[in-house]
Amino acid sequence: MKKILLTTDFSKASEKAIHYALNLFNDTQCEFTLMHAYDTIPAGPPESSFALIEDAYKTSKALLDKQLANIKKFDDEEYHTFKTELMPTSPSSAIQILNQRNNYDLVVVGASGRGDNIFFGSTATDVVRNAGLNSLVIPVNAKIESIKNIVFAVDYQPVSSFEIFEDLKDLTHRKDATITLLNILKDGQTPTDINGLMKFEYHDYFNDVKTNDYYVHEKNVEEGIADYLKYHNVDLLVMVSRHHSFFDVIFNRSVTRKFALHPTIPLLSIYDEVETFVPENEIIAF
């Protein structure tokens, strides 16, 4: 049984993400947790703080209960179970706390695409960077339809274990989808220049699913992926989100975060605990 954390702020973006996830796992036994994180900073004078906090809790609980009731009307699969969590903190902190308790397989986040600052980011970028688990980011305009074409942006760098891709392989089998292994080549680089051993290990791991190789020459990874998405039919973009150093975060060199800030298609960010350090003047692939 998979354990899926559904985040909600009761917006159209989070509602779309929830319905997308329910459809994605319509053939899988799941325990869904519907979570809302609410602000506890009182807006009034100190003497009314407790009342304001209590009102925030009651309002949030009523909205969460209503949303869960609507979800159950939409999803009546007997192998789907639901529960709720209210957390008086930020969404990212709430996800981390709940994940420590429950060890989720996936957290699902809606994205409005209105964020305009990669440093401050959005809830989606904060989750991708800090949550420490696989994240599914769904843009508000995403279509809820069958997944057939998955693009996995790979840099053929070492991973902690290929088991981090287990859920991706399971999804590909369940949906009878095809994975395109997309690699962005630098100027003057050819496919034969890629780490041969790691490329073999990737293909060996995915040898029981349908795969294609695709190479794009572009000056940076972000533009290469964007170009591919512009000219190809893609249902899901997959990237690895590695644990970065402090300076990697400061200089905003995670391409995964950038795609989570303004997603054009659903993005699956696969978390890997391998910590990556690069020189300040270089760009981290994912």
Q: Which of 139, 174, 205 is the last residue of a domain?
A: 139
Assigned domain for 282 exists = no
> Facing residues of 83 across strands?
33
Confidence of residue 127 (pLDDT cuts 50, 70, 90): confident
Assigned domain for 206 exists = yes
Q: Does residue 82 sit in the same domain as residue 203? A: no
Indicate if the pLDDT at residue 178 is higher than 80: yes
pLDDT tens track for 214-239: 999 888 888 889 899 999 999 999 99
Write out the residue range of the structural domain in which residue 106 sits. 2-139
Indicate if the pLDDT at residue 174 is higher than 90: yes
Q: Does residue 159 sit in the same domain as residue 249? A: yes
Q: Which of 139, 168, 190 is the last residue of a domain?
A: 139
How confident is the model at residue 123, as a pLDDT? Answer: 66
Question: How much is the average pLDDT of 9-18?
Answer: 94
266 within 8 A of 138, measured Cβ to Cβ: yes
Based on the structure, what is the number of domains in the chain? 2
Assigned domain for 41 exists = yes
Q: Does residue 132 sit in the same domain as residue 153? A: no
78 within 8 A of 66, measured Cβ to Cβ: no
Q: Does residue 60 sit in the same domain as residue 89? A: yes
Q: Does residue 93 sit in the same domain as residue 205? A: no
Assigned domain for 283 exists = no
Provide φ and ψ at 110, rounded to 5°: -90, 150
Assigned domain for 117 exists = yes
Q: Does residue 25 sit in the same domain as residue 85? A: yes
Q: Does residue 129 sit in the same domain as residue 194? A: no
Q: Which of 94, 111, 139 is the last residue of a domain?
A: 139
Q: Does residue 205 sit in the same domain as residue 116? A: no
Q: Does residue 154 sit in the same domain as residue 117? A: no
Assigned domain for 103 exists = yes
How confident is the model at residue 260, as a pLDDT? Answer: 58
Pairing relationship of beta strands 135-139 and 106-111 according to DSSP bridges: parallel
pLDDT tens track for 52-108: 778 888 999 999 999 999 999 989 899 999 999 999 988 888 999 999 999 999 999
What are 77's two structure tokens?
């699969």
Mean pLDDT of the chain: 83
Q: Does residue 214 sit in the same domain as residue 257? A: yes
Question: How much is the average pLDDT of 258-270?
Answer: 77
91 within 8 A of 127, measured Cβ to Cβ: yes
Q: Does residue 128 sit in the same domain as residue 37? A: yes
Residue type for position 163 = E
CB atoms within 10 A of CB 19: 18
How confident is the model at residue 237, as a pLDDT? Answer: 95
CATH code (residue 13): 3.40.50.620
Assigned domain for 281 exists = no
Q: Does residue 164 sit in the same domain as residue 122? A: no
CA dist 210 and 214 (Å) reads 14
pTM of the model: 0.85
Assigned domain for 82 exists = yes
